[in-house]
Structure 1
């Protein structure tokens, strides 16, 4: 009988502790009232950096306990994790949301943002204020080439393309959203076009074997090789504006997150993102350190 009473008391104590813990939640310093959130990222440098920035900001300005699950995998893996509530927040891109997850057509940056918000919102996922970077495809030339031909836009390039060699990734030569499409819209006709691996492209343009290459707008290699990005003045490439995507139910539980995360709205330029990516990919600094230092430099968190 005595043993039975001890067992009942032990079970009651454990149950009471669980109830109290559930009511109180967890804060960043262990105090009650903060709750918790899991932030994820895709498996490339830029996305990891952006996820760390959001995590740092939340930890600095709220009592919410943050768990970080970086390098989850590709876009579909991270999106599925968000849908399944395995993570509650991660950085994504308007073009990816509209074209990849929902197979809809993109438009301008403004149209794609509105479409991404509409489509994701119907599934209880909220796209907050974009960070300021559009990590889209682009064309780039050396600084010397840009100065020699006064190149600023794709239209400028089209006028002198007959004198130039294009060196791009293999698939870019054949995809309709690559060279064939650009050729139709801008009337570009290079004297030669070469397909090559991503890493070789930059070596080729450095060595003067090619004059023009394709790139991502925030690629660290743009900075490393001192290339000049040309403006897609007819907006051929779809926009990939980056921003926080969060579950609606998470915002309902923690409404302060909207104001906190929106402080990152428009705070990062493509050039700054190139620099940040280069610090990791070239200088071998840790993503979490680079992310935190950037937020401090912007006055968003304290040192």
Structure 2
């Protein structure tokens, strides 16, 4: 190798070494969060809204901390996710004040404020923390088609109870068994439907639209209420408690990663019932993906960058 070629070779080696060093530095910076060793698992229940809110929480934590968020979304009904949290299979997920108080601990609810404070106090016995609400109240309700409402002159649950023996009820599986679901409504209002069917949340609206059922349970934030032109009946004896959504997290996880509470606090009171109806509609009616809808909403609210 002559002197010129040796110089060119040496220069090339030096240049390649510099490139590799710079690339390594950049790679180390880019993967700092991924290699931080900080890791949690986010869970959710098996319906669109809960998946959406869980995805929002996960994306916010990922954007504002160096914690890696694994996802176990769409796990199942309330009791399934609740058990997963207590068993440390997941470390946090979104739940509802009325569900915590009435379903998990079988205690009486009160006003929105009373139910929230009771939820916060009750979960401490299981070494959990119920954080502040996200803004919307997703209470249960009963709905019928306009034709059914007009035929039987239905405005309230008491009106419905009178004609319930002539009607078919189609509700979520867990609503059939929960104390704050059909058994409680049935007892308070003396409702006795001709048939009570359990089904998946998405199927309920197809069933009532197709005439297979006459009455369905619904969430007040469901987009399908408006899309299917359903009539919400008045809970005139105020059976259903408030169901304000909020993150629930294990105390040991919060002790390890206290920054999570600060990050999730930025979501406090950021979502209205109308927002949630719109977000649910983007997934259930327009067919968009939950992660994209969650991302767009967080960007719109200025909680993360696009």
Normalised to the residue count of structure 2, the TM-score between the two structures is 0.69
Report the Cα distance in structure 2 between the residues aligned to 1:47 and 1:101, rounded to whole angstroms.
17
- Superposed CA deviations along residues 138-185 of structure 1, whole A, max 9, x for unmatched, are 022456888999988657x679x7699754227879988666855775
Question: Post-superposition shift, 1:275?
Answer: 2.7
- What's the C-alpha RMSD, in Å, of the aligned pairs? 4.0
Cα separation, partners in 2 of 1:284 and 1:205, compared to 1, 3 Å: closer
Report the Cα distance in structure 1 between the residues aligned to 2:191 and 2:79, rounded to whole angstroms.
34
Report the Cα distance in structure 2 between the residues aligned to 1:101 and 1:182, rounded to whole angstroms.
18
| Partner of residue 278, structure 1 | 281
- Asked whether the 8 Å contact 1:41–1:71 carries over to 2, the reply is yes
Map 1:82-231 to 2 at 5 A. Answer: 82-142=85-145, 166-169=167-170, 182=185, 195-196=196-197, 198=199, 202=205, 206=209, 213-231=216-234
Q: Secondary structure at the match of 2:75?
A: coil
Report the Cα distance in structure 2 between the residues aligned to 1:109 and 1:36, rounded to whole angstroms.
35
Question: Post-superposition shift, 1:243?
Answer: 0.9
- Superposed CA deviations along residues 106-152 of structure 1, whole A, max 9, x for unmatched, are 33332222222111123221111112233332022456888999988
Cα separation, partners in 2 of 1:272 and 1:144, compared to 1, 3 Å: farther
Cα separation, partners in 2 of 1:175 and 1:129, compared to 1, 3 Å: closer
Q: Secondary structure at the match of 2:262?
A: helix
Q: Secondary structure at the match of 1:38?
A: strand
Report the Cα distance in structure 2 between the residues aligned to 1:195 and 1:166, rounded to whole angstroms.
9
Cα separation, partners in 2 of 1:89 and 1:218, compared to 1, 3 Å: same
- Superposed CA deviations along residues 171-212 of structure 1, whole A, max 9, x for unmatched, are 8799886668557756889xx866456577645654789875
Map 1:256-275 to 2 at 5 A. Answer: 256-275=259-278
Report the Cα distance in structure 2 between the residues aligned to 1:173 and 1:117, rounded to whole angstroms.
26
Which of 42, 45, 50 does residue 47 from structure 1 map onto?
50
Alignment size in residue pairs: 273
Report the Cα distance in structure 2 between the residues aligned to 1:126 and 1:266, rounded to whole angstroms.
18
- Asked whether the 8 Å contact 1:36–1:66 carries over to 2, the reply is yes
> Which piece of structure 1 moves more, 72-81 or 262-271?
72-81
- Asked whether the 8 Å contact 2:138–2:245 carries over to 1, the reply is yes
- Superposed CA deviations along residues 189-238 of structure 1, whole A, max 9, x for unmatched, are 9xx86645657764565478987543222334213313343453542013
- Superposed CA deviations along residues 272-300 of structure 1, whole A, max 9, x for unmatched, are 32332232233332111111111122222
| Partner of residue 64, structure 1 | 66
| Partner of residue 242, structure 1 | 245
Report the Cα distance in structure 2 between the residues aligned to 1:134 and 1:58, rounded to whole angstroms.
23
Q: Secondary structure at the match of 1:273?
A: helix
**Gaps in structure 1 of 5+ consecutive residues:** 1-25
Cα separation, partners in 2 of 1:165 and 1:134, compared to 1, 3 Å: farther
- Asked whether the 8 Å contact 1:33–1:63 carries over to 2, the reply is no
Q: Secondary structure at the match of 1:268?
A: coil
Report the Cα distance in structure 2 between the residues aligned to 1:98 and 1:266, rounded to whole angstroms.
21
